[in-house]
Chains A and B, each alone.
Chain A
Amino acid sequence: MTTVLVDYDSGNLHSAEKAFQRMAAQSDAGKVIVTSDPDVVARADRIVLPGDGAFPACKKQLADYTGLFEAIEDATRNRAVPFLGICVGMQMMASVSREYENTDGFGWVGGEVVKIEPSDPALKVPHMGWNDLVIDHPHPVLNGINTGDHAYFVHSYHMRLTDPAHLLAHCDYGGDITAIIGRDNMIGTQFHPEKSQSAGLRLISNFLGWRP
């Protein structure tokens, strides 16, 4: 079993790598490797796509690695490998992002990535810090994670889903913020599980054992 963390020069992978390695070791879930190599992604048993920063920049960086976008697409869509997107990695699952300009995502989950506009003008953007989750749909990767558990968010854009069935959890920030999405073999978290202490580590462990 090999879980790959896709490295496309977007932000800090060090904590994610260590968190996945720790949980993989505890549950005997095989190797965790960080790679930019499309051939390694093509052979992976699980794929994690992190992402920090602006959507267009992330998309461009991913596209700059020849064959990487296609390898992720093929493994996730055609081989149905379990996929976890984190933060902008989750947003990339959407059809389109409106951040700065219109940028296409993978289009696996219908929806668009739009600016957070809290109803209360006193609320700051970015939405930064710990917010409590409301679980909308149970899911194996959310085992042991309950409504009221906290996760660490840092983002100015979030995903607006076309089909509410794909919304696994949300949080409140002057309106609903999409926190976890999922369909078939794919799941994505707007928050950072690798920064969310025990609830985050639990989610990572569940993902490593998930057989969709």
Chain B
Amino acid sequence: MLKTRIIPCLDVAEGRVVKGVNFVDLIDAGDPVESARAYDAAGADELCFLDIMATEENRGTMFDLVTRTAEQCFMPLTIGGGVRTSDDVRALLLAGADKVSFNSAAVANPDVVAHAANRFGSQCIVVAIDAKTVSPGKWEIFTHGGRRATGIDAVEFARTVVAKGAGEILLTSMDRDGTRAGFNIPLTRAISDAVSVPVIASGGVGTLDHLVEGVTQGHASAVLAASIFHFGDFTIREAKDHMAAAGIPMRMT
């Protein structure tokens, strides 16, 4: 049986792990490669690095981090942030990424997803969707770290990028990100039920019950969290034990 994945996410800027609370007030939480090794040893199912600065001058630093992580951690690694073209995807895959995530570029032009999926296969193309509730049961895509509204319906957009070849959706609720109030369950379920590919729920985890809800109520295939793991509130093992006790199939290591 396929297991539900727990994915710690490392927000990276200038070679260091940070975590924004609602995308401001960054707190330095350490060296990304060291963190990756710790999560590998702790039994995380995948790792995600998000390059939140993603400026041209910082790309080299990110490639170096990816390369060094891939040399030491024999587990799946997803990289996102500032990915604009299929050549960007290729460069990250060559550095050692297993999956690469588009965000704003896919909103600006969903065909970039099709181009990359045709070139490298859907299995390595993730689309990160940042959505905000605009009215009950209605969610809109926001870009540029949640600052720019697009007027695009999140569920419709998810369907579009999957039709273009996205192999996975990384769904972040901008209402919840950094709040520790739990995933946006209606949003997560609406997107999970709308697409045929796995959806990773993200944004708002504060307790282990939140992780459970993302799967049982949100229908997510994987759950992503940052702060609760980075700051030691819970270990990966505690999260897995809690989810398994709730009847969710987990990989115990």
What is the interface of chain A, defined by CB distance below 8 A to chain B? 11-12, 14-15, 18-19, 52-54, 57, 123-132, 150, 152-156, 172-173, 192, 194-197, 200-201
Interface string of B166-209 (1 = CB under 8 A from A): 01100000000000000000000000000011100000000000
A128 touches B74 (CB 8 A): no
* Known contacts A14-B70, A52-B124, A53-B121, A195 near B197 by CB under 8 Å: no
A15 touches B123 (CB 8 A): no
> Which listed residue (B75, B93, B122) contacts A11, Cβ 8 A?
B93
B67 touches A131 (CB 8 A): no
> Which listed residue (B1, B95, B123, B221) contacts A131, Cβ 8 A?
B1
Separation of A11 and B116 alpha carbons in the complex (Å):
12
Separation of A197 and B45 alpha carbons in the complex (Å):
10
Separation of A195 and B98 alpha carbons in the complex (Å):
9
B74 touches A129 (CB 8 A): no
Interface string of B89-124 (1 = CB under 8 A from A): 000011111100000000000000000001111111
The reply on B230 being an interface residue by CB < 8 A is: no
Residues in B neighbouring A130, C-beta threshold 8 A: 2-3, 5, 45, 251
B251 touches A150 (CB 8 A): yes
> Which listed residue (A18, A126, A196) contacts B70, Cβ 8 A?
A18
Residues in A neighbouring B123, C-beta threshold 8 A: 52-53, 126, 128, 154-156
B98 touches A53 (CB 8 A): no
Residues in A neighbouring B2, C-beta threshold 8 A: 123, 127, 129-131, 153, 173
B167 touches A126 (CB 8 A): yes
The reply on B34 being an interface residue by CB < 8 A is: no
A-B contact pairs, 21 of them (CB 8 A): A11-B120, A12-B93, A12-B94, A12-B97, A14-B94, A18-B71, A53-B121, A54-B118, A124-B197, A128-B123, A128-B168, A129-B222, A130-B2, A131-B3, A152-B75, A154-B123, A172-B1, A173-B1, A192-B98, A195-B75, A195-B76
What is the interface of chain B, defined by CB distance below 8 A to chain A? 1-5, 40, 45, 67, 70-72, 74-76, 93-98, 118-124, 167-168, 196-198, 221-222, 251, 253
* Known contacts A52-B120, A126-B123, A130-B45, A15 near B98 by CB under 8 Å: yes
* Known contacts A12-B98, A124-B196, A156-B123, A129 near B253 by CB under 8 Å: no
Shortest B246–chain A CB gap in Å is 18
Separation of A53 and B118 alpha carbons in the complex (Å):
8
Shortest B95–chain A CB gap in Å is 7
Shortest B196–chain A CB gap in Å is 6
Residues in B neighbouring A201, C-beta threshold 8 A: 74
Separation of A152 and B1 alpha carbons in the complex (Å):
12
Separation of A194 and B75 alpha carbons in the complex (Å):
7
Residues in B neighbouring A54, C-beta threshold 8 A: 118, 121
Known: A15-B98, A130-B3. 12 other contacts (CB 8 A): A14-B67, A52-B121, A53-B121, A126-B167, A129-B4, A130-B2, A131-B1, A152-B76, A156-B122, A195-B74, A195-B76, A197-B253
